[in-house]
Structure 1
């Protein structure tokens, strides 16, 4: 990856289509719900991009992308996508893609072994956790064997925080419980694993202030700005991005739910200072990921 040629690093993109094989039963209904929530026709039309298509899209824009699946098969019943396949395709497109992985923390020691192997053999840089989809509190001790592996291997832990489009408007919210994604639960993780870089994904609504407080208080905690069009960011979130958290805020789109084109166009209109924009768009992620 030639970072001098890269204009930005998107820290939050999803591998939504299986690399091989077909979707699980029920996944089309889930994606249709997501498409309606984000006003994105791709899911509704069955046109979600593959990992390879994602690489081509981002290469055209000279934007590097962190990409990951989400292992939530225990809670959702949807078979997880192969971490190895995502990492292999990322390796074939290593000029533009940066591989993260996802492991259900309930897998305990087996999950910890998988995490170590993915870092050592597949070059995975970090791991995505979705407490609401995976049905756990981030500070649940069952997750600590995986955190220990991530920390010892020098990788990053990225946690979904706040409300989610997953299950929004669906009967019973598709079983998704929002309580798991209050970022205050990640504060314990930051205390117990002070050397593990942690990213709080999204503005953490309705717990935005909790997320900002954790990121301000704990040196190893960052915030990615994905999942929302910037025009909807709360004023306090923009204020922190411009000031005390300017070296901890990270550009993220939530592709394919939100495209980087849409996100960047709105970001340019919210009053972020000129000297802060390069930090958010590229330099903070470059430093965090050590690339």
Structure 2
């Protein structure tokens, strides 16, 4: 079973405009059209069994609608996480509602949502989410197309892991896109999951292998950041690291299966 732990989709009516705008901002051409049907076609072609759709509430008013859509799109192939905007006042009720709707986790993008990941104002939200058993995914490092300051660096994420030991935290983009040395300094060996989304083409193979080797193998998750990376090509890239069959199987699906309690 191959599980892609980090993809993005939009409702059919919104997908063309959303993907076009994001592509223009980042200067990255999409590999699929950003719809659920487009993702499923990609999954079938690449041999991916399940994908985790991560959505972001960039405005407080989007929070409930995004979570409703996330619950609606879930099926045998799609697992969808919800989102909480930091300025959404009724966040505690919404977290409980997400749990009741069968949503397994939350995605935060501190750059888009304009907060530093280790800002203590966020800690009550994190604590409640972790208490409900929810997985919390953070965009980490540089977001291509957005300027500094970067709100979720490895050093800041290490503070979250230290403050909430034993909780389910995922740092996207191998712990911090373009902050690879800081990933090794602050995150490798800690109790945090690293996903491979949109990273393996940009990090030196030797450093990627070193991070994986020195981190807990059970906490490395295959991910693509689709529609910005082709799922089949990402699988080939991971296999090209020659990590061995046991490590490949763990990263491509077994680790996510355990984390998601499938």
Q: Would the TM-score normalized by the shorter structure come out above 0.5?
A: yes
Using structure 2 for the length normalisation, give the TM-score.
Answer: 0.87
Distance 1:289 1:72 in 2: 25
For residues 213 and 96 of structure 1, do their structure 2 counterparts lie closer, same or farther at Cα, with a shift above 3 Å needed?
Answer: farther
Using structure 1 for the length normalisation, give the TM-score.
Answer: 0.79
2:195 is aligned with 1:256: no
Distance 1:135 1:242 in 2: 33
Distance 1:275 1:157 in 2: 26
Distance 1:23 1:226 in 2: 20
Distance 1:97 1:223 in 2: 20
Structural mapping, 1:45-56, within 5 Å: 48-56=33-41
For residues 24 and 255 of structure 1, do their structure 2 counterparts lie closer, same or farther at Cα, with a shift above 3 Å needed?
Answer: closer
Could you list the per-position Cα deviations for residues 2-35 of structure 1 after superposition, in whole angstroms to 9, with x for gaps in the alignment? xxxxx211110112x235x54798874333333x
Misfit runs of 4+, over 6 Å = 23-27
Could you list the per-position Cα deviations for residues 193-236 of structure 1 after superposition, in whole angstroms to 9, with x for gaps in the alignment? 223210010031332233244443432x11001013x2432322
For residues 213 and 116 of structure 1, do their structure 2 counterparts lie closer, same or farther at Cα, with a shift above 3 Å needed?
Answer: farther
Query: Counterpart in 1 of 2:188?
Result: 216
Could you list the per-position Cα deviations for residues 159-201 of structure 1 after superposition, in whole angstroms to 9, with x for gaps in the alignment? 1111112xx2xxxx4xx43421212112222122223210010
Query: Counterpart in 2 of 1:118?
Result: 98
Structural mapping, 1:186-201, within 5 Å: 186-201=157-172
Query: Counterpart in 2 of 1:72?
Result: 58
Distance 1:113 1:177 in 2: 33
Distance 1:250 1:84 in 2: 26
Distance 2:184 2:11 in 1: 34
5+ residue gaps, structure 1? 1-6, 43-47
Query: Counterpart in 2 of 1:156?
Result: 135
Query: Counterpart in 1 of 2:68?
Result: 84
8 Å contact from structure 1 (residues 8, 63) kept in 2: yes
2:122 is aligned with 1:143: yes
8 Å contact from structure 1 (residues 51, 86) kept in 2: no
Distance 1:24 1:59 in 2: 22
Q: How many residues align?
A: 258
